[in-house]
Structure 1
Amino acid sequence: MVTVAPPDTWVYALRLPHDPRAARVARMTVRAALRGHGMGEVVDVVELLTSELVSNAYRHTKGPASLRLTALGGGRLRVGVWDSSPYVPAPFDKPPGEPVPYVDMGAEEGRGLFLVRKWADSWGGWTLGDGLLGRGAGKLLWFEVGARGGGRG
């Protein structure tokens, strides 16, 4: 009998409506995809960080968002969340390696992105080019976890 090993690279994409349940749908999708691909060791961290990015997209925009999970091989995973706002929040607006101020856990805003910075192996964001009628096409925030640090859990 011939067996075929599944590839260690794959991509899932999910379009999320502007709905308060979008973060929950994103968490369920992350959980199913990662467990299905044998990446259970990073499920908790990726669920939390994905939920933070999707929640921010819902809270700070009026349009849909998109979630993209990309297995990069070697146990690495990149998660990207697109939304329609061109504003890239701190710490994602800083170049890699630049110090980012600490956010008090009692603060009203900024805690979620602090968690991304703390638990992800790398992260970033950028404004996307011009959309229809000269308006911006939004932004993409992303983070990676995996082989280098295993999500620092």
Structure 2
Amino acid sequence: MPENEPWEYSLYIPNDVRAVTVCRRTLRLILTMHGLIGRVDVAELLATELVSNAVRHTKGPAALRVRWAPPGTLRIGAWDADPEPPEAPVTFDSATELEEGRGLALVRACSDLWGWQPLSRFGNRGKYVWCELEAA
């Protein structure tokens, strides 16, 4: 059973497509160690889409953030150094023939809630794109 205490992890990554795999495997380990193995598959899909967007569409560093808030909210997010908002998700009807651009549509479809916010800290700008999975 998952812990009743909140926790949070952040993994800072370089702008390198190999970092997506590192994030996915790290997330699997974190969720397994916290007794959330039932959420691993969907969480990996969501994290992969968020981190892939951060790495592919920006030039600077990025980060994966994973947070658990009892009684049952898992938040997965990706930070990147680009302050521009993410492109609006396409609908699956229009995405069926696209080879790119389906990531946020998958995030929207597979999560209970998603969003983004601009960030500014210590003179650095960027954005944080996140999604949540609620307790089953």
Q: TM-score when scaled to structure 1?
A: 0.79
Instruction: Return the match for 1:67 from 64, 67, 70.
Output: 64
Q: Distance in 1 between matches of 2:8 and 2:42?
A: 18
Deviation of residue 35 (structure 1)? 0.6
Judging changes above 3 Å, is the alpha-carbon distance between structure 1 residues 25 and 142 closer, same or farther for their aligned structure 2 residues?
A: same
Report whether the alignment pairs 1:121 with 2:122.
no
8 Å Cα contact 2:91/2:105 also seen in 1: no
Q: Distance in 1 between matches of 2:57 and 2:129?
A: 13
5 Å-filtered alignment, 1:61-100, equals 61-91=58-88
Post-superposition Cα deviations, 1:112-137, rounded to whole Å, max 9, x if no partner, equal 110000000100001223763xxx61
Q: Which structure is higher in strand share?
A: 2
Identity rate of aligned residues, in percent?
Answer: 46
* Unaligned ranges ≥5, structure 1: 93-99
Instruction: Return the match for 1:140 from 111, 128, 132.
Output: 128
Q: Give the aligned length.
A: 134
Larger-gyration structure (1/2):
1
Q: TM-score when scaled to structure 2?
A: 0.88
Q: Quote the RMSD (CA, aligned, Å).
A: 2.0
* Unaligned ranges ≥5, structure 2: none
5 Å-filtered alignment, 1:1-153, equals 6-91=3-88, 101-102=91-92, 103-129=94-120, 132=123, 137-147=125-135, 150=136
